[in-house]
Structure 1
Amino acid sequence: MNSTALVTGASSGLGAEFAAQLAARGHDVILTARSEDKLAALAERLVAEHGIRAHVLTQDLTEPDAARRIADQLAERGLSVELLVNNAGFGTCGRFEDIAPDRDHDQLMVNVVALVDLTHALLPRMLERGTGAVVNVASTAGFQPSPYFAVYSASKTFVLNFGLALRQEYRSRGIRVLTLCPGPVDTPFFDAIGTRKAAVNGSMSTPESVVRAALRALDRDRAYVTPGLGNAASAHLLPRRPRKLVTAIAERVTRKVLTPGAASSQPLQRAA
């Protein structure tokens, strides 16, 4: 019997790539996002290419009861989840006062609240079985404060620390928890955020390479992974104290996003 993976934000970008690579490994997949048409097309393709089962659950993760609705649908269909990939997310950039408050609120609902709620909903069954895994998608932005990405970087710092804490709690109880911290990835994330300048280091990884690195790290039961030599270097070699200096240096790097039309974004349920 195939194990089943639930992937949030599966309609495009890293989410679609996670679904594809997991299906290639023989996992059945549950695809969750807002776009039913895109999910249905992906599910049909994965079934045809890999002979697995693919299920579509349409859900807007900005809604306060999103995780409960997903859990209810899983129960109604008799579906059990062995691997949860909390991939959904989106970002905003620009001066904080120029970003629509409801957009930042929605960002936190997707990036933080839905991620925690889904983990709460699905982890207990994993513990009952004595096996399971959770992959949380954070970002290199989570390693330090990022002016003009204030809410986005703070949300990813939460995801990073949350994932590391969970891993320590459950590593002796059969549950693997991996936090993925990619740098910029060539996905629709930057179309939604409103500017390609949000890739502040000027280079992007491919979704294929990032997901491949994540699944390899999960196989090895690593706590977190930062794919790419340059990303790993910036995450681990730069000093993190004093915080005021680190933030000032980050501001000089991120200020390039201050261009007309770059102050807000539309939500897209994936994370970078």
Structure 2
Amino acid sequence: MLVDSHCHLDFPDFADDLDGIVSRAEAAGVSRMVTISTRVREQAKLLAIAERFQNVYCSVGTHPHHADEEDGVTASELIALTKNPKVVALGEAGLDYFYEHGSRDAQARGFHTHIAAARATGLPLVIHTREADEDCGHILEEEMAKGAFRAVLHCYTGGRELAMKVVALGLYIGFTGILTFKKSDALRALAAELPKDRILVETDAPYLAPGKFRGKRNEPSYVVETAKVLADTRGVSVEEISRQTTENFFRLFSKVPPVETSA
């Protein structure tokens, strides 16, 4: 059993194939999927998908690319939107200095606001960070000093220093199909080093299809390929990686109901 802790089922890439996407994921042993918000103002679309499928859940938040567009969204507004039982996380929010579609000031404001909402609700924050290790680490330390919160740095591609800081703060790190790419030796070395209770697998679908499907539209069922490479990287079985990452998921995303197993 596996979980796709981060996908985007509301994106146009999936509009005509949602039933097939979910069915293939279930057939591959993916028991839960979390479709991640990029715009608070489009939350209704995510909720419609999450409510349509029993094993799909969602988050609420503003991606740093849209930080200026949704600058001013308050923690109270985010908190109110988490009351729905299908909303199990905040985000994704954070810092992206690679594209900088959102201004750095607006990204930072949004990041702080989402952390405040995560702290208030007890729900995990899904963090997007790219080419912003130093500032991300500073904000995480600053905010953790104000009071504990839970979070995962999704689709991790940052450096070792930030990863170790994240783990020391009690947060999690998520790996996508990037882990399977030929040039990802440094990322695999980091994945081998991290504590087993701090790692997750995800797809970030429709993006970043793992090596076996490189160039194709990604989908939640492909998380199996990332799990295989993570298992090989860490020198354990796929069954062990599946068990551990799934346990980690339910510990972090504790609002998601556990999978019922037959006696």
Compute the TM-score of the two structures, normalised by the length of structure 1.
0.37
TM-score (norm 2): 0.38
Which structure has the highest helix share of the two?
A: 1
Question: Max radius of gyration: which structure?
Answer: 1
Point out which structure has higher relative CO (alpha carbons under 8 A, 6+ apart). 1
